[in-house]
Every structure is written in C-alpha cells, then in structure tokens.
Amino acid sequence: MSELNQFSLGDNRADLDAVNASVKRLSEKVQLITEAVKELHQNRTQLQGKIEDAQKRIQHILSRLPDQGDGRQLNLLNEVTPPNTPEDDSEPTTH
C-alpha cells in the first residue's frame, strides 16, 4: 500500500500544485467578495440613515399642514407673514 501512495504522490505533484493554485485564486476572490459585502453594508447603513432623516423631515412638514377645512395660506418655510385682515384688503380711504 505504501508503494501505491508513493507512486500516486509522485504522479499527482502537478495536480496538487494546480489544486493549491486554485485554492489561492479562490481565497483571493473570497477576500474581494468579503470586502465588497462590507462596503455594500456600509452604503446601506448610510442610505438607511438618510431615509430616516428624510422621513422625519416629511413628517415634520406634514405635522405643520393645516386641516383640510382651514382656509389659511400654507407657510411651510417658517417665513413670517402678517395675517390678512379685512382692513388690509380694502382700498385706502382719503380724508
């Protein structure tokens, strides 16, 4: 049996070298894939944060909208606008 193993080992040296080279290539590819997955995970985490921030801004804007029955003008930009009074809408009078 030992004669068979020695004979096989000698014949399979080239096969072992080829297998070792294949394992090395696969290891390098696995490393590249692992790095790409880490980068994708980081990108996803950043995008999730941006989405959450946008949802908060939208919710803030929606919370400031008046009810549908409210006839006031919308002021979504926090600009100070004086209220419209009936006196402002009339023509100026001269005395």
Per-domain residue ranges of the chain: 2-64
Provide the 8-state DSSP code for 77.
T
Residue 16: which H helix or E strand, with range? Answer: helix 13-64
pTM of the model: 0.49
Tokens 């944060």 map to which residue?
49
Per-residue pLDDT of the chain (95 residues; tens, 9 = 90+): 455 555 555 557 889 999 999 999 999 999 999 999 999 999 999 999 999 999 999 999 988 887 766 666 655 566 555 656 555 555 556 65
pLDDT at res. 1:
46
pLDDT at res. 66:
74
